[in-house]
Structure formats: C-alpha cells, structure tokens
Amino acid sequence: MRYIEPHGHMVSRTTDDYLDMVTAGCEAVCEPAFWAGFDRSSADGFRDYFRQLTEYEPARAARYGLPHFCWLCINPKESEDVGLASEVLSLIPEFLDRPNVLGIGEIGLNKNSRNELKVLERHVDLAARTGQLILVHTPHLEDKLKGTRLILDLLAADSRIRPERVLIDHVEEHTVRLVLDRGHWAGMTLYPISKCTPARAVDILDMHGSGRLWMNSACDWGESVPLAIPKTALEMRRRGWTRAAIDQVIYQNPIEFLSQNPKFRLNAGT
Ligand SMILES: [Zn+2]
C-alpha cells in the first residue's frame, strides 16, 4: 500500500508516529498551520511556529525519507483577535517562497463569528494576490452546514479564486455535495468519533464517487489516529474495492490536487 497524508499536525506527534506512517506506506505528509495546543500570545509565537513547519518538521520527517510540506495562516481558532491576525498575516509572505510551503491554510471558520469571517477574507485576498493554493477548515458539528455555506459564498464572491485550486476539508454527509458542486476539492477527516469514521467515509465515497475527494487523519492534539488512512484502506478492501480504486483515493487524488503547486514532489524513484 502507498498513500499520501494530506493533513496531519505532526508538531503534535512523536517521532515514532513518523516511523509508523512510513512503515505503512506513507510517501508524503502535508501539515496545515493550526492551533499549537494553547493560544499564542504574540505574532512572534507564530514566527517560531512557521519556522518549525518550514525547517524543523521537514528535517524530522527526512530522517525516514518522508517529504514534509506545509500550509501557512493564522487558524480560525485564534483569529478572533483581529489585531494579532493582522500581524500574523503580514508575516506570512516572508515564508511563502520556502521550498516546502504549498499555500494558505487551514483557514476557515470555527464559531462562524464576524471577526473570523474578516480574517478569512484577508487570507483569501492574500492567496489571490500571491497565486497560492487554499486549504479550508470547516467548523464542527452543528455549525458545519452554516459555516460551509458562508465559506463557499465568500470564495465565490472573489472572481480571482479558481475553485479547483481550493480544497474544503472536514466535509461530512450533509456538506460534501455542496462543496463538489461548486467545483472545489473536498477532504474527509477520519476521526475515531466525530467528523468521519472510516465506515462513514467509505459510505460517502460509495455514494458520491471518488472524484475530487481525499481522506486525511488530521492527527492533532485531540483523540486522532495517525494511521487512519491505511486503516480506512483496509475497510475499503473489506468492502470489495480494488487495489487500483483505493490507490486512486489515497494516493493519486491528493497528488493531483497538491501538484497544482510545482513545489509538491515525491522522492525520486517512488
Ligand atoms: Zn487540521
């Protein structure tokens, strides 16, 4: 089996997790900027974090021959403070040319507040001005449908944004169609309890097909499983999916989306 982990918060994981992922067939990991397990007190905390994402994590992954990529932003959970968000937004361009940076993300909404929307709009503007790919986080549970609609409308209102260069993550049964119908890519997050369990994710694939869809573990500070993708592949196998059809979802699809940024490359010979 081979797969791409397109959304893993590796700063929250141990080095043993990298080893397990590579052993299971992981050929690249991508890490969107997110919460650090605590609210950072200043923009300097984000500068250090962006260095961690662009210098230290790629080096930690490289010990196992695993290419590590990242996305940059101030995440919605910390963007209620518009002053702090402005300072972080002005830092991001310094890092965009670094070799493992794929785009702006994971931006989006958490509680669907006015300030979060303001900061989301500024990130979308930054991505449009600098030609970056976009990765979007959608809110959890009862806020998800409303938040997804707000995000899709905001993106559609900006004529500079090409829908196929935006992936909307954490879709579920009630949001996947909305996202695909707008021409975006959609991500399913495989959590043991909330978001999508492996069985629900395979149901969604069975119902909607596998075009413009990927799966990720989003392994982070909460209960989450770094090997969720290969474990879900076993569930697909159990249900009669062919090896080629599984490979399409867990390997070819992420490569197709991510390769829109030419900096996304697998190791030679893989
Ligand atoms: Zn995430």
* pLDDT tens digits for range 87-102: 999 999 999 999 999 9
11 CA to middle of ligand 1, Å? 12
Side-chain-facing half-sphere of 153: CA atoms under 13 Å: 8
CA of 220 to the centre of ligand 1 (A): 7
200 φ/ψ angles, rounded to the nearest 5 degrees:
-65, -40
Ligand 1 centroid to Cα of residue 137, in Å, is 7
Distance 31 CA to ligand 1 centre (A): 8
CA of 189 to the centre of ligand 1 (A): 9
Q: Rounded CA gap, 250 and 26, in Å?
A: 10
Q: How far is the CA of 208 from the centre of ligand 1 (A)?
A: 23
Question: The tokens of 208 are what?
Answer: 């909607």
pLDDT score of 262: 97
Instruction: Average the pLDDT over 127-155 and give the result.
Output: 94
Is-contact 242 250, C-beta < 8 A?
no
Mean pLDDT across 10-18: 96
pLDDT of residue 269: 66
Distance (Å) from CA 135 to ligand 1 centroid: 10
Q: What are phi and psi of 106, to 5 degrees?
A: -85, 110
- Give the number of C-alpha atoms closer than 13 A to the C-alpha of residue 208, restricted to the C-beta side: 27
- Distance from the CA of 219 to the center of ligand 1, in angstroms? 8
Q: How far is the CA of 187 from the centre of ligand 1 (A)?
A: 11
Which residue in 37, 70, 6 sits closest to 218, CA to CA? 6
Question: Rounded distance, CA 153 to CA 227, Å?
Answer: 34
Q: How far is the CA of 181 from the centre of ligand 1 (A)?
A: 23
Whole-model pTM: value is 0.96
* Residue of 64, 55, 52, 58 lying closest to 17 (CA atoms): 64
| Centre of ligand 1 from the C-alpha of residue 109, in Å | 12
Note if the bond before 57 is cis, omega within 30 degrees: no
pLDDT tens for each residue of 206-263? 999 999 999 999 998 888 899 999 999 999 999 999 999 999 999 999 999 999 999 9
pLDDT at 62: 97
- Per-residue model confidence as pLDDT tens digits over 171-217: 999 999 999 999 999 999 998 776 788 999 999 999 999 999 999 99
> What was the pLDDT predicted at 141?
74
Question: What percent of the chain is helix, strand and coil (3-state, nearest 5)?
Answer: 50, 15, 35
CA of 178 to the centre of ligand 1 (A): 20
Ligand 1 centroid to Cα of residue 136, in Å, is 9
Ligand 1 centroid distance, CA of 75 (Å): 9
Kindly report the CA angle at 164 between 161 and 165, in degrees rounded to 5?
A: 60
Percent of the chain with pLDDT over 90: 91
User: Is there a contact between 248 and 210 (Cβ–Cβ < 8 Å)?
Assistant: yes
Q: What is the pLDDT of residues 147-172, one digit of tens each?
A: 999 999 999 999 999 999 999 999 99
32 Cα to the center of ligand 1, angstroms: 6
Cα(214) to centroid(ligand 1), Å: 14
Q: What is the whole-number distance in angstroms between the Cα of residue 7 and the centre of ligand 1?
A: 6
